[in-house]
Amino acid sequence: MEPYLLFSTESKAIVYNLQERAIQRMLDFDYLSQRETPSVAAVVNPGNTGVHKVFWGTKEIMIPVYPGIKEAIDAHPDVDIMVNFASFRSAYPSTREALLNERIRVVAVIAEGVPERRSRELAHLSKKLKKIIIGPATVGAIGAGAFKVGNTGGTLDNIKEQKLYRRGSVGLVTKSGGLLNEMFNIISHNTDGVFEGVAIGGDKYPGSGLLDHLLRYEKNPKVKMMVALGELGGDEEYHVVEALQKGLLTKPLVFWVMGTCSKMFPTEVQFGHAGAKAGDERETADAKNAALKSAGAIIPKSFDSLGDEIARTFISLQDQGRITPVKEPETIPLIPIDYAEAVKKGMIRKPTSFITTVADDRGEEVNYGGYPISEIVHSGGKLGDVISLLWFGRRFPKWASEFIELALMIVADHGPAVSGAHNAIIASRAGKDLISCLCSGLLTIGPRFGGAIDDCAKYMEDAFERDLAPREFVEEMKRKNVKIPGIGHRVKSLENPDGRVTILIEYARKNFPRTDLLDYALGVQGITTQKKSNLILNVDGTIGVLMVDMLRGTDFFTHEELKEIVSLGYLNGFFVLGRSIGLIGHTLDQKRMKQRLYRHPWDDILYLVEKK
Amino acid sequence: MARRGIREYDAKRVFYRLMQRYTNDRLTFDSDLVMVDPNTDLSRLADDYPWLNNKRLVVKPDQLFGKRGKSGLVLLDASVDEAIKFIKTKMNKRAKVGRTAGKLTHFLIEPFVVHELEYYVAMKMESHGDVIYFSTKGGVNIEDVWDSVVEIVVDPLGERPFDPSPILSKVPKEQRIILETFLQGMYKFFSSHDMTYLEINPFTIVDGKISCLDMVAKIDDTAIYQNPEVWGDVEFPPSFGAENNPEEAYIKSLDEKTGASLKLTILNPEGRIWTMVAGGGASVVYADTIVDLGYSKELANYGEYSGNPSTEETYLYARTILSLMTKEKHKSGKHKILVIGGGIANFTDVANTFTGIIQALREYADRMKRVGVRIYVRRGGPNYKMGLEKMRKVGDETGIPIKVFGPELHMTQIIPMAFADDTRGVK
């Protein structure tokens, strides 16, 4: 490649830092320019390896990701450019490392706010090594139809509009990265387009200067005229003046130095760019424009007539027959619009695969069933309110949400001997993690352990709805040979009631608007205890029927909805949730006490294995 | 952002502390310094700093301007009572220095040193290297004796270390050791902590001890993260005479809170042309064009927003400008002109940034109509069509005359267009 070229259609880069959108834009540009291969060979994402998925036209391809610059360059011998998206803190070490790697020829540094001493060192280092830095504090550069640095050139529409996908005859260099697109626009309206465009960045010590790039354009036979946009402050433009005077720049050069307004500012104003501050008269835009004009550059009257001067210069070159007409590509590849953008513009629609009514995390704050968490907390909401919102999509009245909490407290644990806790303990002692132990315990919950809440509610509700008298219900269950769930306790009886049941019933009587199902269940208990005094409504049964009474009492649900709630297993959910508290306790308890692997003793197992 | 001046008080405070390190304790300085600001209780000053009672004193304003002696603002060889009296007569008073007038708010008190010898030294960061200037003819008239200045350049890659021998050959033999230690230490200080300018003019040597009589320092504020223990607590005062008015101060405070850039300078509150331009480069070009076309007296403000400000931030920014421009009708009776300009953005979503501006325009619509405002919009970039459409809609809904353009129009064309509308008498 000729040394005066920044980029060719074969140029390949590594991108430092995973800037997904910028990388995609580079590849879209490549595709539009009909490059044979993508310009991004690899991504350096410090500390990470893997692959990054991008579109090449409509096809998805993988770009490898490396943890460091050296690894990326070693793996990709065809790379000679680094597009550096490092932060202002890491821009210096990463740029330096790239420059010192003999294969890297060009580094574009995007970061703003790189310390001046660092940038100055990098600028000198790159000159010494005969390499080129673009930036810092720039959007980058573009070789029309060849290579695009990061976000340069803006959107795909803009690239098409300004025909940046093929080479024109104008070499452009600006200080401002923000105005690079504007300059592409002006040039595309008034000439056959740019050959190359570079924004050197607004910092005090850019890695390469206006003159560096103009000298490259001077040597490039495809560049017929040059356009430069400078700025007040610094002496970049005077290097150009000197070069003009020495005859080093002979091609027509249209130049404008912005900042002519500074003269009317009463005190020193820092303009947008760090380098844009006129220290003395010589550094003002007016002085620079005048010096450039007297050295032979073409200077418009104001920025407003810059386009006219560019057009005039181009037409005169054309008249002299010095412009070879640009061969427009026969077709320009179509790049489909990105899904996200199309959605934003309302151009497409797509059925969703999921639906939710529980919570929404898309806004400023997560909301539960429509209420922001902070609002729930500030309005005095408790766990019961959260459960009512997340499970039922409604905020229950206080008496109901407090009842939920009461039930959770009561079912939270039942000692180490019951199935769930026992399983959790065994798993914990086998060295399994908390979640495995918890699951191991929860997996025992079902028809025989803890399932009575659901089942009791189901049967009682059904019988109650069918207007069966409690006696008829008991007889029906007996006929079906089904033990009534929620009835019966190992030791407790009518004479020696279960304190937990008492608390629940007292709460309900005091706070619930109605307790129809409880009353029905107690009717059933009246029948069963006639047979045996421990066939009482137990704690699971009580919770089951009271949950139904609670849901009825809120008046939120229709009869059908209620039936569905019960059949979907909602009520069991209260047991699972509450008991998880105990299971976690048992699991951690075993771990804290460093209990070793449990092995059940032989003498506790009846071996009936026949010897064969 | 850039190079910024710090107070002499801060510069000396840090310099004295670090010079001990950089000269391996071979040099000591009289590091007594007091800073007086409008909140200082002057009646307690002598109690809080007992050394003030034992030394003759120098008092001078410390607000980033020079030529203080020539402006009669330096009190020399004073007692503590005289110093306090001097400060009381000057505090919060306006003073004129050269062409700039401003309010005196900060004073530095330090020991007065009887001396004859005055040396000049300055270190400056330049693109070709660090430049060290030295002269044995220091003092206020250094510019007049610039021929006496020795200049040494240290290359930016530090391949050849700083060698002060060309300076040392200019001074008497007995001063060479102390001066070499001082200059080497000073250069280490200058080059290790991202300073861009450090001038001591003059300094003197009395009884084998160096005294810095006047110091000017600028640091690169982008590099503070590299020197938090050195510059972390240093203040960046506004340049003298550039006290912000409330609106400027408000935008400055917004700017400091965000990663985006929001700038506002009011040039002429009675001006007719107000600008609200996106982008550091574009904003300058718009202001230039107004000036170049001969309307500099009408330009009311310079400002820019960039770096993807949030909707809230652009709203607050736009509101501030609208509140200023709708205070009263222009004295000529003509319409005011609001320029909502910008280039073709690379990746900023134009429709998004316009949302905040539009919100402010709606809020101020009635006031704008009362004062008489015409709006000219030009912008390009991602989603610009949608953004421009929204702007047109605001015009339709509020009845405020608005002209809206995209990249099809040259960026600054709306400026001559606005003036042409003026002369054609368009309301």
Q: How is A104-169 classified by DSSP, letter by letter? A: --EEEE--S---HHHHHHHHHHHHHTT-EEE-SSS--EEETTTEE-TTTT-SHHHHHHTTTTS--S
Asked if A13 contacts A83 with a C-beta cutoff of 8 angstroms, the reply is yes
Residues B205 and B280 in one domain: no
Residues B21 and B155 in one domain: yes
Domain-located, residue B237? no
Residues B26 and B44 in one domain: no
Asked if A524 contacts A470 with a C-beta cutoff of 8 angstroms, the reply is yes
pLDDT digits (tens, 9 = 90+) for A100-147: 999 999 999 999 899 999 999 999 999 999 999 999 999 999 999 999
What is the distance of C-alpha B351 from the center of its chain?
33
B146 contacts chain A (CB < 8 A): no
When pLDDT is averaged across residues A515-528 and rounded to a whole number, the result is 95
Q: Hey, is A315 helix, strand or coil?
A: helix
Residue B202: cis peptide before it, omega within 30 degrees of 0: yes
Taking the CA of residue A370 and the nearest CA in chain B, the distance in Å comes to 24
Residues B321 and B255 in one domain: yes
Domain-located, residue B240? no
B226–A302 C-beta distance less than 8 A: no
- Rounded to whole angstroms, the Cα distance separating A289 from B400 reads 38
- Tell me the chain A residues in contact with residue B157 when contact means C-beta distances shorter than 8 Å: 121, 124-125, 128
Residue in B closest to A341 by C-alpha: B383
Q: Mean pLDDT highest for which of A143-152, A256-265, A323-332?
A: A143-152
- Active-site residue (options: A52, A273, A489, A586): A273
- Rounded to whole angstroms, the Cα distance separating B204 from A228 reads 49
- Tell me the chain B residues in contact with residue A128 when contact means C-beta distances shorter than 8 Å: 157
Are β-strands B402-405 and B57-61 bridged in parallel, bridged antiparallel, or unpaired? unpaired
Are β-strands A106-109 and A132-134 bridged in parallel, bridged antiparallel, or unpaired? parallel
pLDDT at A274 over 50: no
Examine the fold and report which residue of B78, B111, B144 is the final residue of a domain before the chain moves on.
Answer: B111
pLDDT at A417 over 50: yes
Q: Hey, is A36 helix, strand or coil?
A: coil
Q: For A224, list phi and psi in degrees, rounded to 5.
A: -100, -25
- Rounded to whole angstroms, the Cα distance separating A35 from A56 reads 11
Which of 341-360 (B) contact A at CB < 8 A?
A: 343-347
Examine the fold and report which residue of B199, B231, B263 is the final residue of a domain before the chain moves on.
Answer: B231
Q: For B3, list phi and psi in degrees, rounded to 5.
A: -80, 130
A113–B346 C-beta distance less than 8 A: no
Of A161, A269, A304, the CB nearest to B412: A304
Asked if A90 contacts A70 with a C-beta cutoff of 8 angstroms, the reply is no
Residues B274 and B158 in one domain: no
Residue in B closest to A122 by C-alpha: B157
Asked if A14 contacts A39 with a C-beta cutoff of 8 angstroms, the reply is no
- Tell me the chain A residues in contact with residue B223 when contact means C-beta distances shorter than 8 Å: 115-118
A123–B292 C-beta distance less than 8 A: no
What was the pLDDT predicted at B71? 85
Domain-located, residue B401? yes
When pLDDT is averaged across residues A347-376 and rounded to a whole number, the result is 92
Q: For B78, list phi and psi in degrees, rounded to 5.
A: -115, 155
Taking only Cα atoms into account, the Rg of chain A, rounded to an integer number of angstroms, comes to: 39
B220 contacts chain A (CB < 8 A): yes
Residue A413 CB contacts under 8 Å (≥ 6 apart), including other chains: A421, A579, A581, A582, A585, A586
Residue A319 CB contacts under 8 Å (≥ 6 apart), including other chains: none
Asked if B80 contacts B48 with a C-beta cutoff of 8 angstroms, the reply is no
CATH number for position B56: 3.30.1490.20
A271–B347 C-beta distance less than 8 A: no
Number of domains in chain B: 3
Residues B265 and B341 in one domain: yes
Taking the CA of residue A175 and the nearest CA in chain B, the distance in Å comes to 9
- Rounded to whole angstroms, the Cα distance separating B33 from B110 reads 5
pLDDT digits (tens, 9 = 90+) for A55-100: 999 999 999 999 999 999 999 999 999 999 999 999 999 999 999 9
Domain-located, residue B241? no
Domain-located, residue B144? yes
CATH number for position B304: 3.40.50.261
Angle at alpha carbon of residue B34, lines to B30 and B36, rounded to 5°: 160
B308 contacts chain A (CB < 8 A): no
Taking only Cα atoms into account, the Rg of chain B, rounded to an integer number of angstroms, comes to: 27
Q: How far is CA A581 from CA A365, A422, A441, A542, A594, in A?
A: 27, 14, 11, 20, 20
Are β-strands A194-199 and B261-266 bridged in parallel, bridged antiparallel, or unpaired? unpaired
What was the pLDDT predicted at A529? 93
Q: Is B79 exposed, middle or buried (0-12, 13-18, 19+ CB in 10 A)?
A: middle
Task: Single out the residue of A213, A157, A225, A155 nearest to residue A187, CA to CA.
Answer: A225
A274–B296 C-beta distance less than 8 A: no
What was the pLDDT predicted at B348? 86
- Rounded to whole angstroms, the Cα distance separating A245 from A296 reads 8
Asked if A393 contacts A358 with a C-beta cutoff of 8 angstroms, the reply is yes
pLDDT at B1 over 60: no
B152 contacts chain A (CB < 8 A): no
Q: Hey, is B404 helix, strand or coil?
A: strand
Q: How far is CA B355 from CA A3, A365, A610, B349, B376, in A?
A: 47, 22, 83, 10, 16
Taking the CA of residue B207 and the nearest CA in chain A, the distance in Å comes to 37
Residue A303 CB contacts under 8 Å (≥ 6 apart), including other chains: A256, A258, B285, B288, B289, B292, B411, B412
End-to-end Cα spacing for chain B:
41
Of A154, A155, A178, the CB nearest to B306: A178
A-B interface: how many C-beta pairs under 8 angstroms?
187
Which residues are registered as beta bridge partners of B277?
B304
Q: A interface mutation test: which of B188, B245, B292 has the most A CBs within 10 A?
A: B292
Taking the CA of residue A544 and the nearest CA in chain B, the distance in Å comes to 51
B288–A302 C-beta distance less than 8 A: yes
Residue A273 is among the residues annotated as catalytic for this protein: yes
Taking the CA of residue A259 and the nearest CA in chain B, the distance in Å comes to 6
Taking the CA of residue A392 and the nearest CA in chain B, the distance in Å comes to 36
B127 contacts chain A (CB < 8 A): yes
**Helix or strand (DSSP H, E) at B360:** helix B350-363
A128–B346 C-beta distance less than 8 A: no
Residues B166 and B95 in one domain: no
pLDDT digits (tens, 9 = 90+) for A294-333: 999 999 999 999 999 999 999 999 999 999 999 899 998 9
Tokens matching residue A127: 């000159």
Which residues are registered as beta bridge partners of B220?
B3
When pLDDT is averaged across residues A143-168 and rounded to a whole number, the result is 94
Taking the CA of residue A195 and the nearest CA in chain B, the distance in Å comes to 19
**Helix or strand (DSSP H, E) at B263:** strand B261-266
Residues B182 and B57 in one domain: no
- Rounded to whole angstroms, the Cα distance separating A293 from B284 reads 21
B219 contacts chain A (CB < 8 A): no
Residue in A closest to B130 by C-alpha: A117
B284–A304 C-beta distance less than 8 A: no
Residues B59 and B123 in one domain: no
A151–B343 C-beta distance less than 8 A: no
Domain-located, residue B239? no
Label residues A270-287 b or e (16+ Cβ within 10 Å = b). bbbbbbbbbeeeebbbbb
Of B2, B222, B288, the CB nearest to A88: B222
pLDDT digits (tens, 9 = 90+) for B50-63: 999 999 999 999 99
DSSP at A46: T
Residues B107 and B128 in one domain: no
Question: Which domain covers residue B203, as residue numbers?
Answer: 3-31+115-231
Examine the fold and report which residue of B64, B88, B111 is the final residue of a domain before the chain moves on.
Answer: B111
Are β-strands B107-111 and B150-154 bridged in parallel, bridged antiparallel, or unpaired? unpaired
- Tell me the chain B residues in contact with residue A153 when contact means C-beta distances shorter than 8 Å: 346
Residues B134 and B104 in one domain: no
- Rounded to whole angstroms, the Cα distance separating B112 from B60 reads 11
B143 contacts chain A (CB < 8 A): no
pLDDT at A603 over 60: yes
What was the pLDDT predicted at A278? 46
Task: Single out the residue of A150, A144, A182 nearest to residue A163, CA to CA.
Answer: A144
pLDDT at A268 over 80: no
B407 contacts chain A (CB < 8 A): yes
- Rounded to whole angstroms, the Cα distance separating B281 from B65 reads 29
Domain-located, residue B191? yes
pLDDT digits (tens, 9 = 90+) for B349-394: 899 899 999 999 999 999 999 999 999 999 999 889 999 999 999 9
Domain-located, residue B236? no
- Tell me the chain A residues in contact with residue B412 when contact means C-beta distances shorter than 8 Å: 302-304
pLDDT digits (tens, 9 = 90+) for B222-235: 999 999 999 989 99
Residue A101 CB contacts under 8 Å (≥ 6 apart), including other chains: A69, A70, A73
- Tell me the chain B residues in contact with residue A123 when contact means C-beta distances shorter than 8 Å: 127, 156
What was the pLDDT predicted at B141? 87
B280–A120 C-beta distance less than 8 A: no
Residue in A closest to B129 by C-alpha: A120
Q: How far is CA A36 from CA A31, A163, B50, in A?
A: 8, 19, 79
- Rounded to whole angstroms, the Cα distance separating A127 from A208 reads 8
Q: How many CB atoms lie within 10 A of CB B405?
A: 19
pLDDT digits (tens, 9 = 90+) for B133-190: 999 999 988 889 999 999 999 999 989 999 999 999 999 999 999 999 999 999 999 9
A155–B267 C-beta distance less than 8 A: no
Residue B50: cis peptide before it, omega within 30 degrees of 0: no
pLDDT digits (tens, 9 = 90+) for A389-408: 999 999 999 999 999 999 99
- Rounded to whole angstroms, the Cα distance separating A154 from B348 reads 9
Q: What is the pTM of this model?
A: 0.82
Residues B153 and B268 in one domain: no
Task: Single out the residue of A307, A259, A251 nearest to residue A285, CA to CA.
Answer: A259
B123 contacts chain A (CB < 8 A): no
A151–B347 C-beta distance less than 8 A: yes
Label residues B11-46 b or e (16+ Cβ within 10 Å = b). bbbbbbebbeebbeeebebeeebbbbeeebeeeebb
CATH number for position B8: 3.30.470.20
Q: What is the mean pLDDT of chain A?
A: 93
Taking the CA of residue B32 and the nearest CA in chain A, the distance in Å comes to 31
Residue at token pair 């230690």: B181
Domains and CATH numbers, chain A: 13-319 (3.40.50.261), 351-411 (no CATH), 445-568 (1.10.230.10)
- Tell me the chain A residues in contact with residue B407 when contact means C-beta distances shorter than 8 Å: 158, 161, 185
B291–A264 C-beta distance less than 8 A: yes
